[in-house]
Amino acid sequence: AVAEASARMRPAGAPAIGIPAPPGAFHGERPNREQYGHIEENAFIAVADEPRSTFSVDVDRASYSNIRRFLLREHRLPPIDAVQIEEMVNYFAYDYRLPRGDAPVAVTTELGTAPWRPEHRLLRVGLAARPIEVEDLPPSNLVFLLDVSGSMQSGDKLPLVKRSLRLLVDQLRPEDHVAIVVYAGAAGLVLEPTDGTDKDRIIEAIDRLEAGGSTAGGAGLRLAYDVARRHFRSEGNNRVILATDGDFNVGESSDGGMVRLIEDRRRQGTFLTVLGFGTGNLQNEKMQSIAQHGNGNYAYIDSIDEARKVLVGEMGGTLVTVAKDVKIQIEFNPAEVASYRLLGYENRLLAERDFNDDTRDAGEMGAGHTVTALYEIVPTGTASEVGRPRVDPLRYQTPPDENSARSDERPLGSDELAFVRVRYKQPDGDTSALVERPVGTRVRAASTDFAFASAVAGFGMLLRNSEHRGSLSVDRVRSLAQDGLGDDPHGYRRGLLQLIDAYAALSATQDRPQD
């Protein structure tokens, strides 16, 4: 296997050359096998029926950069199910309260007016993970698992993978170790674990990689985990970093067997990060799923700038988990809230009982990560029909009387709109800790972050042609984004304006794609 894998690498010392994209690589002339899991947008839920909303956090940001690829590079509207609002909102960092003491996570809340329906409220719940400076990160035992199959030849795939990994290698310290495993027809170890002082050797191994052959991702994954296990760092960060275009399950390995392997290695302390590249093969749902099972995150790399953001600017969050199995549960006060709707997180919803169940897997947060959740709220007594339950009342039960409603045994007229609970575990722990925070009823003027987060969510609703978009227009979304630019040192927020403008031009001439 090693010999076969090595045969797909240029001889040592050979000049690094780019692999040109084949005809049609970027414009859909080849068969498009991209797949996105169907998303049934969250509906409004009556507080009388379900006063608690429970979900797992999600720090994946792939949807936003993938949408950018569609709008700016391919000049077409993205499929509706490629648009995941929570990943769009979480692509951006927000100025949340940082954790104190040994706590890895802190909670911030803000209540304002829903820009698309002024009679409704918008609740922003933010989590911030403890940041760690690069020099203070634990030593890393990293295994790059690289797809070098024939489908990876185009310029936005293996060549971009190689450029991206060079950025990460530049950040390595002497105490960090990197190995490289490749797979395509057969899996092979092409670089034994090498410490961060020997960057030239690591870069040379990366530069020699070439694409060719079919894919046997399961075998490569097993080998990568075996390498990570042999060099396990008990006090360090042990992680496999998979880079692929998504076409990685040709061969004997089943999806079920792959997931069991990932979960088993996760329990042993080796986590999984997934980086998606290119067009035509992207299996978004599968890549997102295996990252979740591996206590890791999933990012889509559409450019070297995105690679720099994920692997350099957010290195701690991408590589180092500070809190695992992070769950959020919000209880709404029926005296104040008639119904609510969670924007996004459709594939992260949990049953109410799962919140206190420490055996229930949930999402992870890396160092410096922020997570944002937005709830659209219909206040009690609102005349609007929007948000009212779409089912008939029960025949044999008396509906709740708003004048006698109680939440958490507090008296009517309390100043609480809702109560936020967050559970998390330490990266090596099995028992969760609890953070609680009440949400007041006072509506304040929107902060810069609030305006921007609502703009991103609103843009997502336009992209999805959501029935809940209310009075939203492109101009309104752009105005909100402009108001929310704030301090934008890297230009990420300003980049949203470019996407909004591209959408405005394309939506005037193109039919909306369906999934």
C-alpha–C-alpha distance, residues 234 and 121, integer Å: 47
Q: Which of 116, 92, 93 is nearest to 496 (CA)?
A: 92
- pLDDT score, position 21: 34
Q: Given this model, what pLDDT does residue 4 score?
A: 38
Q: Locate 129 and state its tokens.
A: 């993970």
- Calpha distance 213→493 (Å, rounded): 40
* Longest distance between any two alpha carbons in the chain, whole Å: 80
Residue 277: strand, helix, or coil: strand
Q: What pLDDT is stored for residue 30 in this prediction?
A: 47
Q: How far is CA 158 from CA 178, 278, 391, in A?
A: 18, 9, 52
Torsional class of 107: left (φ above 0), alpha (ψ -120 to 50), beta (otherwise): beta
Q: pLDDT above 90 covers what percent of the chain? A: 76
**pLDDT at position 114 over 90:** yes
pLDDT at res. 24: 36
Q: How confident is the model at residue 7 (pLDDT cuts 50, 70, 90)?
A: very low
> So what's the pLDDT on residue 448?
98
The percent of the chain in helix, strand and coil, each rounded to the nearest 5, is 30, 25, 45
Average pLDDT, the chain: 88
Q: Is the pLDDT of residue 388 over 70?
A: no
Parallel, antiparallel or unpaired: strands 337-342 and 370-379: antiparallel
Quickly list H helices, 356-491. Answer: 448-463, 474-483
Q: pLDDT at residue 457 above 80?
A: yes
Higher pLDDT, 149 or 255: 149
Edge-to-edge strand list for the sheet holding 186-195: 186-195, 177-184, 140-147, 237-244, 271-277, 298-301
- pLDDT score recorded for residue 199: 97
Q: Are 311 and 318 in contact (CB under 8 A)?
A: yes
Q: Do 190 and 205 contact (CB within 8 A), yes or no?
A: yes
For residue 14, the model assigns a pLDDT of 40
Question: Residue range 104-121: average pLDDT?
Answer: 97
Phi, psi of 89 (to 5 degrees): -65, -40
Name the pLDDT band for 16 (thresholds 50, 70, 90). Answer: very low
pLDDT tens, 314-342? 999 999 999 999 999 999 999 999 999 99
pLDDT tens digits, 70-92: 999 999 999 999 999 999 999 99
Distance between CA 397 and CA 514 in Å, rounded?
41
Q: Using 50, 70 and 90 to split pLDDT, how confident is the model at 151?
A: confident
Q: pLDDT by residue (tens digit) across 252-274?
A: 456 788 889 999 999 999 999 99
Query: Is it the case that residue 2 has pLDDT exceeding 90?
Result: no
Query: Do the Cβ atoms of 62 and 87 come closer than 8 Å?
Result: yes
Residues 6+ apart with CB under 8 A from 364: 57, 59, 271, 295, 296, 297, 321, 323, 324, 325, 326
In this predicted structure, the answer to whether residue 120 has a pLDDT above a threshold of 80 is: yes
Number of Cβ atoms within 10 Å of the Cβ of 76: 14
Minimum mean pLDDT range among 216-220, 390-394, 437-441: 390-394
Is 15 a residue whose pLDDT tops 60? no
Q: Rounded distance, CA 300 to CA 83, Å?
A: 13
Q: Which pLDDT does position 255 carry in this prediction?
A: 72
Residue with tokens 């590589």: 319
What integer pLDDT is reported at residue 387 of this predicted model?
61
Residue 184 pLDDT: 79
Average pLDDT over residues 164-191: 92
Residues 6+ apart with CB under 8 A from 107: 97, 125, 126, 127, 420, 422, 435, 437
Looking at residue 212, its pLDDT comes to 76
Is pLDDT larger for residue 1 or for residue 487? 487
Q: What mean pLDDT do residues 421-434 have?
A: 96
Is the predicted pLDDT of residue 394 greater than 80, yes or no? no
> What band does 406 get if pLDDT is binned at 50, 70 and 90?
very low
CA distance 226 to 143: 10
Q: What is the pLDDT of residues 202-242, one digit of tens each?
A: 999 999 998 876 555 668 899 999 999 999 999 999 999 99
pTM of the full structure: 0.88
User: Which tokens is 283 given?
Assistant: 């299996």
Question: What pLDDT is attached to residue 44?
Answer: 97
**Is the pLDDT confidence value at 413 over 50?**
no
Q: Are 156 and 278 in contact (CB under 8 A)?
A: yes
List, in sequence order, the alpha helices (H) in 433-507.
448-463, 474-483, 492-507
- What digits encode the pLDDT tens for the residues 468-487? 999 999 999 999 999 999 99
User: Looking at residues 478-506, what average pLDDT do you find?
Assistant: 97
Q: Which domains does the chain have, with CATH numbers?
A: 41-132+323-392+406-509 (no CATH), 134-319 (3.40.50.410)
The neighbouring-strand residues paired with 379 are 337
Contacts with 30 (C-beta within 8 Å, 6 or more apart), sequence order? 22, 24, 280
The confidence score (pLDDT) of residue 389 equals: 58
Single out the residue of 374, 395, 463 nearest to residue 115, CA to CA. 374
Of 270, 267, 272, 161, the residue nearest 209 (C-alpha): 161
Dihedral, 459, 462, 466, 468 alpha carbons, nearest 10: 60
Per the DSSP assignment, residues forming a β-bridge with 35 are: 283
Q: What is the C-alpha to C-alpha distance for residues 87 and 58, in angstroms, rounded to an integer?
A: 7
Q: Who contacts 222 (Cβ-Cβ below 8 Å, separation ≥6)?
A: 187, 261
The predicted pLDDT at position 115 comes to 97
Mean per-residue pLDDT, 187-213: 92
d(CA 283, CA 214): 16
Say what percent of the chain tops pLDDT 70: 84
